[in-house]
Chain A
Amino acid sequence: MVDARGYSCPMPVVMVQKEVKKNAPATLEVLVDNQCSVENVTRYGMGQGYQVKVTQEGQDFRLTLSK
């Protein structure tokens, strides 16, 4: 789980990248609070071979990356 709420681009992608490089998780939940981060984390995830599902939770967005 990466909680990148409160961070603006490009930090959320950097945080997700760190987690993927370190643990190579099969699934990863990411929380962000802006549309730019949703798009950027989606592009990164898909580039790494993940499927990405986005659900809105109030003001926040939950991205589920899975292989």
Chain B
Amino acid sequence: MEENNIKLTKLAKCAGCGAKVGAGVLSQLLEGIKVHHDPNLLVGFDKSDDASVYKVSEDLALVQTVDFFPPIADDPYTFGQIAATNALSDVYAMGGEPKLCLNIMAIPESMPKDAVHQLLRGGYDKVYEAGALITGGHSILDDEPKYGLCVTGFVHPDKILTNAGARPGDVLLFTKPIGIGVLTSAAKADMASKAGMELATRMMTTLNKSARDAMVKYNVHSCTDVTGFGLLGHLCEMAQGSDVEITLHVDAIDLIPESLELAKMGILPAGMYRNRTFAEPWVDAGDTELCKQDLLYDPQTAGGLLMAVDPADADALYAELKGVVPSAQWIGTVAEYQGGKRLFLR
């Protein structure tokens, strides 16, 4: 009976992508380390992109990424599914298709065998749903459980979607609601409703495969998945990488109503404040309410795909996304950089 009562999140200090080292901190940690270049390395870690891309031949490039984190759900099977959905997402965000995966797992010695088995089963199920394989992995003992995957996928070298390709005039589309970090943080204090947690879990276990499959049929210039740095953190990276500025229509963004109420009560994860510190210098928030701003910085786990699409294709892609993603949103437009702030909330 004891095995059914295991509450994984109680074993973790931070939840999911909220455990990510802040974007600003990461660049400090990497400062001064020599970067080796290779003409076939099309996307490397110096670009702060979702995955690295290495050109193998004229029509084939490898996409590689790794992602793991402490439990974001109490149920091991659910946690395994979420971690896999999140890790696979980085390949989708590059326009690629995941194929080979390796498990990365840390488990406390005391964790019941069945719980570990369920965790792994969750990972395998999602990977199979994605049409990919788990070919092995590595496990260590640790006080705090952690799980994730190293994922290798394929993409045509001319069809890579980085977060640095947005062009003036592009339309920004997004595919999942925002506020997952607030809900999972609230759940740690039993302050999230059952319906709220069901929604968060459903979002975190929905692959970005359908979004990717729709996206690659259109003239999309840039893409990234919204995860630990929050919508504004990832938008900031896109705006800086593409040297453009972006106007966001805040009312067009699907902010989960319960998360908004929780934000008003100050139930916000530490990762939100880290994201705010990183991106806020680039944000002109206009007269956007504080609670809405907070949600735009909320760290998402396995969040949606953010796409900058050519305006000529925007209507058609938006219409197609509506049928296949949890929440298709037309959230903003890209413009030429005028200097100063890069993100404008209107």
Query: Would you call A14 an interface residue if the criterion is a C-beta within 8 Å of the partner chain's C-beta atoms?
Result: yes
Given contacts A17-B265, A43-B265, A43-B290, whether A11 and B189 have CB atoms under 8 Å apart is: yes
Contact present for A10 and B189 (CB under 8 Å): yes
Contact present for B265 and A47 (CB under 8 Å): yes
Q: Which of B166-174, B201-209, B233-241, B267-275 contacts A (4 or more CB under 8 A)?
A: B267-275
Which residues in A have their C-beta under 8 angstroms from that of B189? 10-11, 14
Give the interface size class of chain A: 10 to 19
Using CB atoms, name the residue of chain B closest to A47.
B264
Shortest distance between the CB of B137 and any CB in chain A (Å): 30
Which residues in B have their C-beta under 8 angstroms from that of A36? 268-270, 273
The 8 A CB mask of B10-42 against A (1 = contact, 0 = none) is 000100000000000000000000000000000
Give the interface size class of chain B: 10 to 19
Residue from A10, A36, A40 having most chain B Cβ neighbours under 10 A: A10
Measured between alpha carbons, how far is A13 from B270 in the docked complex, in Å? 13
Query: Would you call A55 an interface residue if the criterion is a C-beta within 8 Å of the partner chain's C-beta atoms?
Result: no
Given contacts A10-B185, A10-B188, A14-B189, whether A44 and B265 have CB atoms under 8 Å apart is: yes
In chain A between 5 and 58, which residues have their CB closer than 8 angstroms to a CB of chain B? 8-11, 13-14, 17, 34-36, 39-45, 47
Contact present for A41 and B13 (CB under 8 Å): no
Contact present for B264 and A40 (CB under 8 Å): no
Contact present for B270 and A44 (CB under 8 Å): no
Measured between alpha carbons, how far is A61 from B79 in the docked complex, in Å? 35
Contact present for A9 and B265 (CB under 8 Å): no
- Interface SS, A side: helix
Query: Would you call B141 an interface residue if the criterion is a C-beta within 8 Å of the partner chain's C-beta atoms?
Result: no
Contact present for A44 and B273 (CB under 8 Å): no
Among candidates B191, B269, B270, B294, residue contacting A34 with C-beta atoms closer than 8 Å: B270
The 8 A CB mask of B284-314 against A (1 = contact, 0 = none) is 0000001000100000000000000000000
Query: Would you call B266 an interface residue if the criterion is a C-beta within 8 Å of the partner chain's C-beta atoms?
Result: yes
Which residues in A have their C-beta under 8 angstroms from that of B265? 13, 17, 43-44, 47
Measured between alpha carbons, how far is A9 from B264 in the docked complex, in Å? 15
Shortest distance between the CB of A25 and any CB in chain B (Å): 17
Measured between alpha carbons, how far is A10 from B266 in the docked complex, in Å? 8
Contact present for B266 and A41 (CB under 8 Å): yes
Measured between alpha carbons, how far is A17 from B273 in the docked complex, in Å? 21
Contact present for A43 and B273 (CB under 8 Å): no
Contact present for B13 and A43 (CB under 8 Å): no
Contact present for B273 and A10 (CB under 8 Å): no
Among candidates B13, B191, B264, B294, residue contacting A10 with C-beta atoms closer than 8 Å: B191
Query: Would you call B244 an interface residue if the criterion is a C-beta within 8 Å of the partner chain's C-beta atoms?
Result: no
Among candidates B185, B191, B266, residue contacting A42 with C-beta atoms closer than 8 Å: B266
Using CB atoms, name the residue of chain A closest to B182.
A10
Contact present for B191 and A9 (CB under 8 Å): no
Using CB atoms, name the residue of chain B closest to A42.
B266
Contact present for B13 and A40 (CB under 8 Å): no
Measured between alpha carbons, how far is A42 from B66 in the docked complex, in Å? 37
The 8 A CB mask of B145-187 against A (1 = contact, 0 = none) is 0000000000000000000000000000000000000000110
In chain B between 185 and 240, which residues have their CB closer than 8 angstroms to a CB of chain A? 185-186, 188-189, 191
Interface residues of B (CB under 8 A from A): 13, 185-186, 188-189, 191, 263-270, 273, 290, 294
Top 9 closest pairs, chain A to chain B, by CB:
A44-B266, A43-B266, A40-B266, A36-B270, A10-B267, A13-B266, A14-B189, A10-B189, A36-B273
Please name 14 pairs of A and B residues whose Cβ atoms are closer than 8 Å in the assembled complex, sorted by A: A8-B13, A8-B270, A9-B269, A10-B185, A10-B186, A10-B188, A10-B267, A11-B189, A13-B265, A13-B267, A39-B268, A39-B273, A43-B290, A47-B264
Extra A-B contacts (6), CB below 8 Å, given A14-B189, A45-B266, A47-B265: A10-B266, A11-B189, A17-B265, A36-B268, A36-B273, A44-B266
